[in-house]
Amino acid sequence: MLNELEPDSLIVTASGQAFRVSKALAEAFQPGDLVIPNSQQGLLHLTNDEQQIVDTAVTQSLEAFTTMQQVTDDQVTDFFNAFCDALTSEKIWTSIQRINEKDVAMANARGRSTTRLEVSETMRTSMIDGLREWAETDPSRNSIVETIHHDRFQIQLETSALGVVGFVFEGRPNVLADACGVLRGGNTAIFRIGSDALQTARAMMELALRPSLLRSGLPEEAIVLVDSSAHAAGWALFLDSRLALAVARGSGESVELLGSLARSVGTPVSLHGTGGAWMMVADTADSEILRQSVVASLDRKVCNTLNTCCIVASRAKELVPVLLDGLNKAAANLGQEYRIHVTEGSEAFVSEGSFNHKVTIQRADGQHEEFQASTLPVVDIGREWEWETSPEITLIVVQSLEEAIDLFNAHSPRLVASLISNDEQEHQHFYERVDAPFIGDNHTRWVDGQRALNKPELGLSNWANGRLFGRHAILTGDSVYTVRTRYIDASDGRSRT
């Protein structure tokens, strides 16, 4: 345990990586602090204060998990209904909105995007609908998965609560309601939410969530908010090996860092960061289906938004204009212009004027004057465009569907792949060859727990870091469980099921 750090001194890891201590880190370091070497970010500084905040929160959540094993499924249902009632209350919602307005104002002052921060009526309705769905969902714990009969005994596989689920989310207040779904299976949850939404999260906890826990007889710490705006609090949370599962959503870089920290202490992770859907357009594609699919895939920027479009050369002269027309309509629906990145070698299929025509593009830090079309190296084809309200995609013209699939498997985050084709055999071949958890034949925005499964989603996992074990790539509250194995003696003639 170090009491101080010397500027310019080296910290060497067991794998041989060396990190030099900066003057700023040495001056900030205090006794009790930790320094975590990380290959992505260098030396991470965890203050003793942040460690203590997280340690207390995880301890509370663990104690609540023990208590949760004694509560009834009806009590959990009562909680979801109570939380619904609280969010339906105009008095409570107005109070939450007032505090949220302060968060939004502070985020605006820092030049931050507030697209997902504002607690709109749409967000309110979505949270209430999600909670009602959880109230009506069958409990996922204590369900018999399988019974194996032997001559003198039985083996039963039965679902059981997993434990404490740790969440780190960006500034989206609605995740507090979404992730409460883990309670349905007897789990508990602990959150660290982005600094932009921290005041709003505090208000939701105090005015709606915690009173609903108490009203239903659930432990007050079944849902715990890490009350800190420091990134180090998220690091400390994911470094706590007492978590049963670590879930992170946000930007790709921050999610990768959090995932590496959780893995370093042996905690299973579910990471939801990098996205960007791909659409492949075959030579049998229907032009109107392509146009409609593009428009529907670009209504807003989320991880399942169309990012890269591959069009076969045999139809490119006809279908690239259709793509651009759909892109233009999607932009018009948002009251904006669009941006398109054309990979090297595909420029001839886009009008030369687009590369010299400047448009106003709305980005997180404000408006920018940019050329509507620009050239992109093929090696950057998988880059995800983080647009605000101005749709932005990549176009590449390929020689064949096989080339498009190979590009997807090599360069994409391996999340969503859609094929526009009228050939059933082509669709089957595409399904077999493309390395993605979500495959479709139309727009890409269907990849959503709420839309696809009628369940509030905690996040979507891509396959960039490998396929998931034992579950699909949509994480929902009722998919968070483990399985216990039970031996039942039948030698005395008893029959137990």
Which pLDDT tens digit goes with each residue over 41-98? 889 999 999 999 999 999 999 999 999 999 999 999 999 999 999 999 999 999 999 9
- Count of other CB atoms within 10 angstroms of residue 453: 15
**111 vs 360, higher pLDDT:** 360
Give CA separation, 394 vs 132, 252, 364, 372, in Å: 39, 19, 19, 12
With residue 270 as reference, give the H or E element that holds it: strand 269-272
**Which residue type does 452 have?**
A
Q: Is the pLDDT of residue 493 over 60?
A: no
How high is the pLDDT of residue 131? 92
Phi, psi of 380 (to 5 degrees): -100, 15
What is the per-residue pLDDT across 306-344, written as a single tens digit (0 to 9) for each?
999 999 999 999 999 999 999 999 999 999 999 999 999
307 token code pair? 């990012």
Domain ranges, ordered by start, for the chain: 10-46, 49-272, 277-451
Segment 215-270, tens digit of pLDDT: 999 999 999 999 998 899 999 999 999 999 999 887 778 888 998 999 999 999 88
* Average pLDDT of the residues of the chain: 91
pLDDT of residue 478 exceeding 90:
no
Residues 99-109 have pLDDT tens digits of 999 988 988 88
Q: What is the pLDDT of residue 471?
A: 75
- Asked whether residue 465 carries a pLDDT value surpassing 80, the answer given is no
CB 141 within 8 A of CB 185: yes
**Cβ-contact 456, 476 below 8 angstroms:** yes
Residue 169 has a CB neighbour count (10 Å cut-off) of 25
pLDDT at 213: 97
Residue of 393, 309, 321, 377 lying closest to 350 (CA atoms): 321
Q: At 431, is the secondary structure helix, strand, or coil?
A: helix
**CATH says 277-451 is which class?**
alpha beta
pLDDT(194) > 90: no
Asked if 154 and 147 count as a contact pair (C-beta separation under 8 A), the reply is: yes
Q: State the pLDDT at residue 113.
A: 74
Domains 49-272 and 277-451 share a fold: no
494 band by pLDDT with thresholds 50, 70 and 90 = low
DSSP 66-124: HHHTTS-HHHHHHHHHHHHHHHH-HHHHHHHHHHHHHHHHHHHHTT---TTTS--HHHH
CATH no., domain 49-272? 3.40.605.10
